[in-house]
A and B are shown apart, each in its own frame.
Chain A
Amino acid sequence: MEFASEKKREILSSIARNDGHGEHSPYFDGWKAYDRNPFHPTQNPDGVIQLGLAENQLSFDLIEEWIKNNPTASICTPAGVGKFKDVANFQDYHGLTKFRQAVAKFMGRVRRGKATFDPNRVVMSGGATGASETLIFCLADPGDAFLVPSPYYPAFDRDIRWRTGVRLIPVPCNSSNNFQVTLAQMESAYTKAIEANINVKGVILTNPSNPLGTTLSKETLTSLLSFTFKKNLHMVCDEIYSATVFNSPAFTSISEVMQETECNPDLVHIIYSLSKDLGLPGFRVGIIYSYNDQVVNCARKMSSFGLVSSQSQHLLASMLSDEVFVEKFLEESSRRLAKRHSRFVEGLKHEGIHCLEGNAGLFFWMDLHHLLKEPTHDAEMELWRVIIKDVKLNVSPGSSFHCMEPGFFRVCFANMDDHTVEVALKRIKELVSKGNGSGDAKKHGRKRNLSLNFTSRKCDESLMSPHQRMSPHSPVPQSPLVRART
């Protein structure tokens, strides 16, 4: 049996057989627990609450209302069907002109007019996932490396490395300065890599940061941009959360800093998407924006492998061109994110749990190191298992973000309703009181019951029933779309 399955796997490529997809990371194990026992306020009030999904679910009503009021934006309505043929037929990898124009305008608006974007540099991709991979295919060869401040988004391991053969070198950041990456740290990591004969091609920054929920200061961005310029490295900025900034300091984009600092535009590239800012991950709208003509050209050709559906381009072109709507949406979305963030963070503070002061993103970086048995990653995983099994909250352990310091967890706050937030806070309160009690437990040498088995971290799809198989993007087995029968 085993031999046959081994033979099966041999006929495949090494990429198909290796773990480069990264789905064995603990990041996804918590989802498995959620998957088996998802919280529902009435049907399953003791289920696991999903706090590991960075989705923006707070402002759908605004978008839905706009769609209802703008039937011509859809090619399926009587008002819009006149465009059906042209749109359905359109597969030009330049994308619909009005789509590119609308995206460029939107990006400029998000940056409060501090930078303007050329529609001719807007290149489509299959979500930011596709954008990241495509950009790396353009910039680097197998074996080349990019420096990336950690903690960082777990799926970069897949997006940047898997099929490209490119390496990621973490630049570890720590709590002593609120995890803000410094020039010194970057230079040190760069030097070490060069000494190890690694061909460093560039730096990847996520700003605002996932998982920290903070924005990079103008000074830091400037110094990092200068550094890349001096070393002739690419500067890749993933600005996917740019419109989720809900508190000061205001967002400073690399596009702004470029105007005020000496740099080589051929080395500067932005990754963007509508998945977080607008809350539309299902529509798969990724954008590569590069200041390098050759990269634009190449990425555009590669975009054939992941174009945005013309149906979605058409809808979003209309929506993003509506300046009144965009203005209202950005303001209101920010307000709701701020409110939700504040409720959660204040609630935790009340329990003696501190979070990194964040002003952006759909999550916050929670500090639980004082609840660890010892300052190790193993202890972090142990605590995490307790949080999932006993407290029934799926939060994401810092180690899955390659965080060097144990005890930190990313907690998402924008993918649930207000009631669920209260339930989550209540449970955290209970965790804290347990944690206070555990001091005694330790004294008496009592072992914590960790019966949830994580020895095999494989996210093994074959073990799950068809309706419970999940994907790293969106494990929503209870989504009516998954349960639906035709």
Chain B
Amino acid sequence: MDVPFLSSGAMSRAHYALVRKVELATSPSQVDQIVLAEIETIRGRFARSMSNMKQAKEYLITLLYCFMTLESTEDVDLEFALAHAVNLAEAGDTVQNKRIGYLYCIEMMPKEHELQLMLVNTLRKDLESPDVPHICLGLEALIQSPSVDVIPAVQDRVHNLLAHNSARVRRRALLAFRTLATSSPDILRHVIDKMGNRLRDADVVVVGAALSTCIPLLENGLVAKDKLRPLLNKLLRTTWRNVHDISNRWLLMRYIGVLRVTGLSRDTVEILLDIVHTCSRHKPLPAAIVYGCFQVIAIVDIGVVLEVQSATKTTFVASVRHLLLSQAPNDIYLFVSCLDYLDPSLWSGSKSEIPAVLEAWEVERVIALLDFPDLSIRKKTLQVLLKVDRSLVEAHYTRLLQMDRASYAPLEKDDAAKRILEVIHVLTDSVGEEYAHNVKTLIDIIQGDTSQDGAVLFESIAEDVLTHVRNGSGDFRSSCLGALFVLFDDDATKTSPTVTVILSALACEHLESSLLPPSHLLQGLASRLSSNGGALSFDITLPCHRCASITAAIQDALLLSMLRVAAECGEISDNILAIVRKIQERAGRHIRRRCEQFISLSQARSTLRTILSSAESSSLPDFMLALESYHRDHVETQATSPPRVAVERPSSRASSRASSHTPGKLRYAAYDSPKPTAKLRRVPSTSSVAKSDSSRFVGQDKEDVLSRTVTAGDLAMALATEQIELQALTKFPRQVSPSGHIAKDDSLSKPDLIMLDSPFLAEPPSGLTPGTSSVAELDFDSVWNKFHDANLRGWCDSPIDVVVRRLQSIQRRMRVTAADRPPFQGDLKILISPELLGSSDQEGYAALRLREGEEDSCLWHLRCEEGGLRSTIRTLLTDA
């Protein structure tokens, strides 16, 4: 950022200074501070005196920059500048100044703002201007903020502008009609008389705009398709024959777009085949045109296509078959998309009278695309093969199910499960019962693979299934639920954790669609709660911390679901209450509290109904939010016991502040030392997603993205938080503070809801769960120095982030220190420690330094005294 002012291109010294300060800021909060101060300065300047046009323009641009740059735009009011923006748009001395005025109004002015009227007036004046740039400016403002109210004021003038001398005006006028038509389709009646001329316009860009406007005309039935089709076919033919190259690719694409709506004649199919043939030989490949042509061919009768193909002695597929050999994923996507748009008999040889176009090796290659890394390509390939022969997809499904996943890490198993679900979606389409059956089989198999680690909860499967059932049609949902709820009759001890979570969430969310009586569901859920409180938590072969977390997650889901179902039941039987009490006796704090809620609320149906009615949706997490809200409002406020940390409502930032600091009370104790702030302004992706996702589970600010609709699958997602955070640390090492802990920016330093209320972290330490982290007892430096005799070094052919991901598979605690932090600056430091701490100072510890090498490799240096662990890590580092 050491750019001198003169060569920076900044508007002024002030602009230069602001940008420089913002770019050099070391934390998001610092950026916000700088920007908010700048906004206040500009507010003051606007208030103090009337600025000249140049200054006003500069301030408005700066405000727009500030708005984009702010980390949080809540409570930031930039409306104070709207009057100045309208003024600049109205009285600006240059088109450029007026443009900034309009831009500010379009970006910042609410739809119902009182100044809208003034803006319409300005816009009308510009439209009436004899000056082309002013007219263009007015039309652009109209296109960007179309509203029904403005139509009467501008309609006649815009209609006249359709025949303006300037092509720039004509095409903007056409687009203005198109955008105005979204709120008032009838307005298009006024352009019908001009469309013929505009479609034959001398300027190709005007023709393109006219073609865009044709689409809403046709879709709204204002022009008959049969009437327009001959004209379009003729124009396309003329354009293609005259040009016969793809220099005017955009116009061709527009034609193709309209033909999709009007349909096309045999002649046009011939032209399209010629276009595909020509384009496929062109370098670089005009992929969009080829794609568009195949999209249109999809609506043509197969007989016509065959006729054209035999007359021209060429086929559509033959023209693009070379794309199958391309290394570029976009080209491969184009190829499978082309196949998807065509009737399979045109190329696969499935009908004896039509010869196959693709050879056997090419078909094999298409089948191999089922394992392509890109999801879009896999989905398209599945659709193509399903159309060719369902047994091909079924064979792929069987192969995926039978794959040996024993050696997979949990994340890889999750990924494998997701791929199988993709196939299930395509195979079962809308047959709910079959879908349920396949999901059950999949979970049994995947869970079976993890028999030695049976407590694994496959969150992606749970998430996917819940979303799919929610988005399915009514018939699909009811048959799917019927098939899944039958599982309540199965032996509870044999139900896997993933299935239990799915059943709990579905019972809560779709209770009203269930054919089973609520009491039956409640009994089924209770029996699973009973079995979960037993076997899992005492299975000493499992890593204790993990086992307890998963048990708590499942118990939490079950108890919440039971409470929801209890709202529809009459009396709650004693044996169910006995099961809950039994769980309550030996559970941790969080589950104990949940049990208390069940016991007290399950009999109070009216209260439960009140809670249900306050929930945003019927999903389990929303029910939980409503329950917590009720608990906070009605129970905790009356409690005489020492105050607990309140659970935040997701929608109110103010309330979160209020809950953390009781207003009006004097403090005698010293305030906490300031929280460390993040080095980077942005919270990097994975970290932010993980954090937000987990927070979403319990609730967070309404404006926050991830608080939107809290999905049921988030319950499961919360479990992954630990791993994701670890990945984020390695990927974005600058976020690590000097002490080695994750630095938190302002948003992260707010009370972490998961920390406060999650069943996974709130469990008190017990005999089986490790206590609060004592990892900090040994730092990297001391372990490194202690193991000075146990050195191993080598090169790894993978980048550092891959290595770290691999290390996670050994299921140990890991602490990562960024490369720019001491000790050993320049190396990423990883301290590996045992899951259960405290047995011995050295046992289970390893210290690893990673230095980035060239071409995605890294140099590693390991110190570890435990033989088994050392060889495990060495294997991970050397097996590229």
Do A and B pair up? The answer is no
- Which of A's residues lie within 8 Å of B, judged by CB? none
- Which of B's residues lie within 8 Å of A, judged by CB? none
